[in-house]
Homo-oligomer: A and B are copies of this chain.
Amino acid sequence: MRETAKPLRSGELARLTGVSTDTLRHYERLGILPAAPRTTAGYRMYAPDAPERVHLVRQAMRLGFTLDELTEILGARDRGEVPCGRVLAMMEAKLGALEQRIRELREAQRAMQALVRNWRVQLQRTPRGSKAGLLQSLTTKADLPAGAPEHLKRRKQT
């Protein structure tokens, strides 16, 4: 049934995958996406499996792979090599890092919970507008784990 199929334009691919066309171009520049063939007018024509590739990239990023790493891995794959072993190794490393990171964050969480509980009480029994020294307490009960912060900022991937 399906013929050689209709190529996608960049905007369509973007919509299908939830990334901006800018980002698609960016990936192409890095070699993460193969250079798409062009129409005579210079428009990119993406093969129907392009969304899958983009999806792959996003999933991998979600697991902590960087664009550089993906360039490396996917490049190898595109060259016909079989990077599976390498990928597995990287994956295991990523997983280790992730576990480590989760441990750190749990520690920070614990500390924060204690702090918040404490502060709520402190604040309540403090008259009004007189300093309860909440901040100050941070310096004294300096028992938080090392190296936890980093970022818990942006959660939407635009």
Contacts and interface: CB of A to CB of B under 8 A. Distances in A.
A109 B132 CA distance: 40
Q: How large is the interface on A (under 10, 10 to 19, 20 to 34, 35 or more residues)?
A: 35 or more
As for how many copies of this chain the complex holds, the number is 2
Interface in A117-158: 119-120, 123, 126, 129-136, 138-139, 142, 144-157
Given A101-B105, A155-B101, A112 B94 contact: yes
A60 to B, nearest CB: 6
Interface in A95-113: 95, 97-102, 104-106, 108-109, 111-113
A35 interface: no
A51 to B, nearest CB: 9
Contacts of A156: 147
A104 B101 CA distance: 12
A84 B131 contact: yes
24 contacts: A55-B139, A55-B142, A62-B144, A62-B146, A62-B147, A63-B111, A64-B151, A64-B152, A82-B130, A83-B135, A84-B126, A85-B123, A87-B135, A88-B134, A94-B152, A95-B116, A98-B109, A98-B112, A101-B105, A102-B109, A104-B155, A147-B155, A147-B156, A150-B154
Nearest 10 A-B pairs (CB), nearest first? Answer: A101-B152, A84-B134, A56-B139, A62-B149, A59-B138, A84-B132, A82-B131, A97-B152, A52-B139, A95-B112
